[in-house]
Structure 1
Amino acid sequence: MSFSVLMYHEIRKEQEFNPEHPSYIDVKQDYDDILPSPLFVTLEHFEEQMTYLHEQNYHILTLAEVKDYYRGKEIPEKSVLLTFDDCFQSVKEYAYPILKKYDFHAVAFVVTSWLQDTATEFNPEKSVCMTKTDLTDISDVFEYANHTHSFHQRTNAETSMMMEASDEEFSQDLDTCNEFVEVKDVFAYPFGLFNDRNVSLLREKGVILAFTTETGKNDRQTEPLHLKRNVIPYFINLDAFKKIVQ
């Protein structure tokens, strides 16, 4: 038995989205970056994808079920884990109502230093982070896990701040994020980047599951600290989506 993990970041209506227009992130931490267009999905495609999962009777996993799977418990044949990274406004604006409509469950990986202090009106021109209150408002659908407190920053194309931090710094950062997130033993690597030292520290800290950005399905032969996730980009059609989850 295997399962797919789907990864989303930002959602936009087709009329709002221009893949040639850079989307600058707006987060509390002093960090400037641009969210690449393949990390967007259109609202129309997202709703189509969730409708397909619902109509085809897919089982939407919780993190507890994934943990139990790696302890030997079975999962339903058609199982999918839905994940959202970074907690941008569109998750509440667009994803939440659709997920709630179908009684779906999802995971959001939180960069706690990115969460804004004050809620603002949804702005499709920028990738604006939500507040802690926003996350509480949608917690009947979402569970929250660790995506670092302040180490979600690139230092170059192949390295993140997390990778350059000492073990002590990384450990402290994990603890800070875990003061807020409910699920404290699950982690998502920023940008999908990590090294062996990071993995060893996560294991020492009691982390059970850690998610990469490597594509493919997961089974019991998959290392639980190297779990695969499939980015669902704006240009994917429903047939391509079906191949990822089937």
Structure 2
Amino acid sequence: MPFTTVLYHEIRETKGFNPEHRSHIDVKQDYDDILPSALFVTVEQFEEQMIYLKENHFHTLTLNEIKAFYLDHTPLPEKSILLTFDDCFQSMKEYAYPILKKYGFRATAFVVTSWLHDQAKPFNPDKSVCLSKDDLKVMEDVFEYANHTDKLHQRQNEATSLIMEVTDREFADDLAACNAFVAEEDVFAYPFGLFTERNVSLLKANGFQLAFTCEQDKNDQNTDPLLLNRYVIPHFLTLEQFKNIVD
């Protein structure tokens, strides 16, 4: 049975959301980037989507269930969906966490460990501010955390990310540094959805079981578990379009 994986980054209240606003990131690492508005949804949209999943009896997957599906051919529950969040910005705790908890849902967050602030910062809707390690720990009843690199979530242009440029040893060391914090040590998400065949091979050599791209399609037993698909959910997606993705 196929399953759908959806991807969120940032959530904002409708009344304060301006798609034209350039949202700079605020992370511990010395790195700046700008999140495009396509990586945002509104709180109202997000809750509407979660209500649809709840009312239609969707099952939110854990990573262990997906591993069992690929490694042991264990069938997935009907209407299975994996909810994922990348980068761990403040809105994940401010908005996503209470909504997911209200509906009894589980989700996966991919962590860039060098981006995590030492101390929690006040919520700032004008920037994409990263959470702290303590912030993540208090959400473990909803979120499980996996590898999104330690220091390699960077790019120089739209087509190349840093994981594509570093040596195998540098990539392996970075994976290990991130795994020192995250509990799911064999699951990865490619930064910006960019990678090379060498990156995929190195993940396999280092014992990774699952890795997620940003290619938009469903996943089934024929999907390479190190090239899993995810649908990015943007603010301009209608509820009907969301239904078409998950149904």
> Normalised by the size of structure 2, how large is the TM-score?
0.99
CA distance, structure 2, for counterparts of residue 16 and residue 26 of structure 1: 19
Give, in angstroms, the shift of residue 120 of structure 1. Answer: 1.2
Separation in structure 1 between the aligned mates of residue 205 and residue 120 of structure 2, nearest angstrom: 36
Q: CA RMSD in A?
A: 0.5
The residue that corresponds to 1:191 in the other structure is: 192
How far apart, in 2, do the equivalents of 1:88 and 1:39 lie? Answer: 12
Aligned to 2:243: 242
Structural mapping, 1:1-246, within 5 Å: 1-71=1-71, 72-246=73-247
- The DSSP-based 3-state class of the residue aligned with 2:156 is strand
Give the number of aligned pairs.
Answer: 246
Amino acid at match of 1:29: Q
Tell me, in whole angstroms, the C-alpha distance in 2 between the residues paired with 1:102 and 1:169.
41
Query: Which structure 1 segments of 5+ residues have no match?
Result: none
Alpha-carbon distance, 1:46 to partner: 0.1
SS at structure 2 position matched to 1:41: strand
How much does 1:79 deviate?
A: 0.4
- Residue 76 of structure 1 deviates from its aligned partner by 1.2
Gap runs ≥5 in structure 2: none
How far off its partner does 1:78 sit? 0.4
TM-score, normalised via structure 1 length? 0.99
Q: How much does 1:157 deviate?
A: 1.3
CA drift at 1:87: 0.2
Which residue identity is paired with 2:120?
A: A
Q: Whole-Å Cα distance in 1 between the matches of residues 213 and 121 of structure 2?
A: 31
Deviates more, 1:68-77 or 1:181-190: 68-77
In structure 2, the residue corresponding to 1:201 is in which secondary structure?
helix
**Cα offset for 1:77?**
1.9
Identity %: 64
**CA deviation profile, 1:99-131 (whole Å, cap 9, x unmatched):** 000110000000000001111111100000000
Summarize deviations over 1:142-199 as a string: whole Å, max 9, x none.
Answer: 0000000000001211101111000000000000000000000000000000001000
Q: Tell me how far apart the structure 2 counterparts of residues 209 and 236 of structure 1 sit (CA, whole Å).
A: 27
2: CA distance, partners of 1:60 / 1:46: 15
Aligned partners of 2:197, 2:115: CA distance in 1, in Å? 26
**Cα deviation 1:13-64 (Å, max 9, x = unaligned):** 1111100010000000000110010000110000000000000000100000
